[in-house]
Structure 1
Amino acid sequence: MEHNIEIREMTEADIESVLEIDQLSFANPWPINIYYDELNKNSYAHYFVVTVDQKVVGFCGTWIVIDEAQITNIAIHPAYRGKRYGDGLFQHVINFAIANNVSRLSLEVRVSNIPAQQLYKKYGLVPGGIRKNYYTDNQEDALVLWVNL
């Protein structure tokens, strides 16, 4: 069965779905007000969703400051993982960054999150360091990855 897949800018109407994905994906999900602030008050923030048959199944946020982009978060609903939606979403964000004259993109990822690291390395991101005890839920280290675009 063919599905209608779309990647587009996130709107306020998407926040409830994004919040659900955030809660299913992260030990410390963001409170809802942060998403409203990111969309309405942060001029550096750019958020995107991937939809399948008009259902939000994933999201990604990035901050672009001058010529650098920082991925704030990226997640796919657990029921939709392994279907390459995250891959397409990440490619879209990279293309958006390039179109906005970004020269370097970076992110943090849990040292234990091998599937995400494999995706990022596919796009040329390389380790740039470790942030010790970065994640507050279990003090896990974060691997800092970056790529010149």
Structure 2
Amino acid sequence: MNDTYGTLSFRYMKEEDLDQIMIIEKESFTLPWSREAFYNELHHNQYAVYFVVEDKGEVIGYCGVWIVVDEAHVTNIALLPQFRGMRLGEALLRKVMDLSRQMGATSMTLEVRVSNTPARSLYKKLGFQEGGIRKKYYTDNGEDGIVMWVKL
């Protein structure tokens, strides 16, 4: 799947993207995933699907999902800070939701920090509902994670 909209395009992540993915990770998370973790996701995890959004050929964001039987689990989603607030995260997540549906998933789940109001708002806009709390889910500061679900 490779779609283009103006200067934006959406496609599957490739190993060649990992340098840019690591920049996005470090600018987005207090506990970024390692390059090796992404490499393993791309090459060794049969359930993993990773999608990127590019602007003028530069990877500016990505979203990962594990699709196991009929359930999709969002592992991570991130955009470079200067591209946030432009509805690109929404477009990217919609693409991943559509792809998950096409691959047989009937529901999708994710965890989000209690304090991440912008992400929670986006997920609610896309139909996700809060389904529970994972106490002290985030190891960097012990913050709770909210489990959210949506039927695809």
User: What TM-score, normalized to structure 2?
Assistant: 0.95
Q: Which residue in 2 is equivalent to 1:106? A: 109
Q: Residue 130 of structure 1: SS of its match in structure 2?
A: strand
Q: CA RMSD in A?
A: 1.0
Structure 1 stretches of 4+ with a deviation exceeding 3 A read none
Structure 1 residues 51-100: Cα deviation after superposition (integer angstroms, max 9, x where no partner) = 00011100000000000000000001001111111111000000001111
Aligned mates of 1:21, 1:66 — CA distance in 2: 29
Specify the alignment match of 1:70 in structure 2: 73
2:37 pairs, out of 23, 30, 34, with 34
Partner Cα distance (1:7, 1:33) in 2: 23
CA distance in 2, matches of 1:125, 1:87: 13
CA deviation vs aligned residue, 1:36-65 (integer Å, no higher than 9, x gap): 100001010000000000111000000000
User: Percent of pairs identical after alignment?
Assistant: 47
Deviation for aligned residue 1:3 = 4.8
Amino acid at match of 1:114: T
The aligned counterpart of 1:4 is 7
SS of match in other structure, 1:23:
helix
Q: Distance in 1 between matches of 2:109 and 2:47?
A: 15
* Corresponding residue of 1:59: 62
Gaps of 5+ in 2: none
TM-aligned CA deviation for residue 108 of structure 1: 0.1
SS for the counterpart of 1:90 is helix
2:11 is aligned with 1:16 = no
Query: Residue 142 of structure 2 corresponds to which residue in structure 1?
Result: 139
| Deviation at residue 148 of structure 1 after TM alignment | 1.1
Q: How many residues align?
A: 148
SS of aligned partner of 2:112: strand
Q: TM-score, normalised by structure 1?
A: 0.97
Cα distance in 2 for partners of 1:62, 1:31 equals 17
